[in-house]
Amino acid sequence: MISVPNRRPPLSGNNLSTFVALALLLVFVSSCELFKPAVDPGTGQTTGTDESRREQEGEDLDPVQSRRVYDPATGTYIYVANAPTDKMDTVRWTTVSEDRNPPIVEEGGNDYIPDNQTGVDTNGETGMTPVSQVGTTPEGSRLLNGYNVDFVLPFLTDRYLGSEDKVDANSQWSLHFYSGAKLALDDMRGAANVNYNVNVQDSRASEARVQSIAASPEFSQSQVVIGPYLKNNVSALAEAARGKETVLISPYSASGGITEKNPNYVQVNPTLETHMRSLLQHAYKTQGADRIVLVTGMDPNQKTRLGYIQDEYKILTGNAQIEPLEEVQVDMNDANTSLRDYLRGRKTVFIVPIYEDESFVANFLRVLYSETRDDFGQNVAVYGLPQWIDFTRINFDYYEGTNVHVSSSVFIDKLNPAVREFRRKFFERYAALPRDEAYVGYDVTRYFLRMAAEHGTRFQYALEANPEDLMHTRFRFQPVAVVPAGATNFEQATLDRFENKFVNILRFRDYSFKRVN
């Protein structure tokens, strides 16, 4: 018997398509289950995203923030680069009563008491520790176990209402000055056996306020008063100190005529007359010039300043009959102005005592610079006043090329180790860099408190014998005598005040001012 295999016929194309379609249907139906919300087996409710819950609860969905928005002004759609695309936070404020969270106050501080009708700060007693005499110097000055020190500075607290985001710019001088003074007080208290009772009063740059301070018990009981700032206020306190055991130290005002015949007034800043004389002294002794020319503009008030220089020239030469120095009025509005006649074949020094006219100084230096460029300014020097340091419209090449020198009552050498140490201490204490006033405040406070501790209540008479080099300048105090009109000899002169006679002479070199005396 022969067996024959029973072969099935091959599948047709229609049956293969049906098989593939059934397979895809099974995959699609099962995959839909992956995207359904999960069902809580306990409650039988579905859990999902915040959007799905809001949809189930009937809430509206958050609007989609688009960067393409409609601008009603132009009637077109515009693109906004910084349109918000994230969900915005909501801040809910809750007011808490002061009973629950009381405000922060200074522990042990007294409540603030406004000024009374006389303008005198009162808070019970003066707050000063009583001082007593412990000795007497050979000059008759009383030595005390402590000294009352009163600072009268224009803090201008009446202009600060508490809502401002910064301190009044005019208050910065006092703040930095007193911040430096506080560092000096810390040093003095730690190094001496003498107590210092310090009181601080705000002059508010007001004459009425200063008059009330002059009548206050704090002022009358002080042996040392430092301040204030404005000339009229300094004059008021100087008159109040006259005849008392109170010495007024003026740290800023350089004006003359503050007070007359008042040995209780000490002026730290040299006057304009002292600046003029110091400029001529330095030029005459160091420049080796063949010619010194005094320059002014067309303002007649400027010409009156030359008298100080001419008087000093007679003193330097020792000849009261010597021919005066050349004086020239320069019209900088004249396009043909030239200085060549003063420069030919000689070294010339120009002293220009002008501080109020920056345009004149700038044009004068420009003309001089253009006429001395050939010899690189080797045969010329110019002497000016402290305001030149702050001029902003003058090319520094003119300063460098004409050998400019200026006088200044303050010079801070940033390379001085003492200055660097002070900057470090100041920054650690106040988290700020000190301005020039901070150095002045430190030097003035430390020097005069030391003088009071060593020489007693009449320490001003010992200033001349105690020079000292400080961070911002050098103290070289001298008594200033005034000869009355009609006097026949110098023996009739009267003591007017004590004044620091040292002036820093700064030369502009390598594009910065450097002290040269």
Distances 38 to 3, 34, 45, 70 between C-alpha atoms, Å: 62, 9, 8, 40
The three-state secondary structure class of 324 is coil
- pLDDT above 70: residue 358: yes
- pLDDT above 90: residue 26: no
**Structure tokens belonging to residue 285:** 């002794």
The three-state secondary structure class of 482 is strand
Whole-number percent of the chain with pLDDT over 70: 75
Which has more confidence, 332 or 473? 473
Q: What domain range is 490 assigned to?
A: 133-269+417-502
Handedness of CA 318, 323, 325, 327 (dihedral sign): positive
Q: Are strands 291-296 and 348-351 parallel, antiparallel or unpaired?
A: parallel
Average pLDDT, the chain: 83
Q: Please check whether residue 205 lies inside any domain of the structure.
A: yes
Is the domain of 432 the same as that of 465?
yes
Closest-CA residue to 234 (of 267, 201, 261)? 267
Which has more confidence, 468 or 87? 468
Backbone dihedral region of 456: left (phi > 0), alpha (psi from -120 to 50 degrees) or beta? left
Q: Please check whether residue 512 lies inside any domain of the structure.
A: no
Q: Which of 408, 437, 469 is the last residue of a domain?
A: 408
Is the domain of 378 the same as that of 458?
no
pLDDT tens-digit map of 243-259 = 999 999 999 999 999 99
Closest-CA residue to 448 (of 460, 438, 434, 464)? 460
Q: Which of 362, 378, 408 is the last residue of a domain?
A: 408
Q: Please check whether residue 491 lies inside any domain of the structure.
A: yes
Is the domain of 142 the same as that of 256?
yes
Is the domain of 354 the same as that of 449?
no
**Structure tokens belonging to residue 467:** 């020079």
Report how many domains make up the chain: 2
pLDDT at 170: 86
Is the domain of 386 the same as that of 447?
no
Q: What is the dihedral of CA 10, 13, 18, 19, to 10 degrees?
A: 50
Q: Please check whether residue 21 lies inside any domain of the structure.
A: no
342 burial via Cβ count (<10 Å: 0-12, 13-18, 19+): middle
Q: Please check whether residue 180 lies inside any domain of the structure.
A: yes
340 burial via Cβ count (<10 Å: 0-12, 13-18, 19+): exposed
**Structure tokens belonging to residue 76:** 């077109």
Is the domain of 336 the same as that of 232?
no
- pLDDT above 70: residue 409: yes
Q: Please check whether residue 30 lies inside any domain of the structure.
A: no
Which has more confidence, 15 or 428? 428
In this prediction, residues 108-123 reach a mean pLDDT of: 36
Q: Which of 361, 391, 408 is the last residue of a domain?
A: 408
**Structure tokens belonging to residue 270:** 């040299």
pLDDT at 374: 84
Is the domain of 291 the same as that of 318?
yes
Q: Please check whether residue 247 lies inside any domain of the structure.
A: yes
Identify whether the C-beta of residue 242 lies closer than 8 Å to the C-beta of residue 262: yes
Is the domain of 261 the same as that of 140?
yes
Q: Please check whether residue 486 lies inside any domain of the structure.
A: yes
Q: How far apart are alpha carbons 275 and 16 in whole angstroms? A: 114
Helix axes of 436-455 and 172-191: crossing angle, nearest 10 degrees: 40
Is the domain of 254 the same as that of 292?
no
Partners of 478 in the beta sheet?
499
pLDDT at 193: 83
pLDDT tens-digit map of 269-326 = 999 999 999 999 999 999 999 999 999 999 988 999 999 999 999 999 999 999 999 9
Range from 45-59, 379-393, 483-497 that averages highest in pLDDT: 379-393
pLDDT at 23: 59
- Residues 6+ away with beta carbon under 8 Å from 474: 467, 468, 502
pLDDT tens-digit map of 89-111 = 565 666 656 565 555 544 433 33
104 burial via Cβ count (<10 Å: 0-12, 13-18, 19+): exposed
Q: What is the CATH number of the domain that holds 172?
A: 3.40.50.2300
pLDDT tens-digit map of 203-242 = 999 999 999 999 998 899 999 999 999 999 999 999 999 9
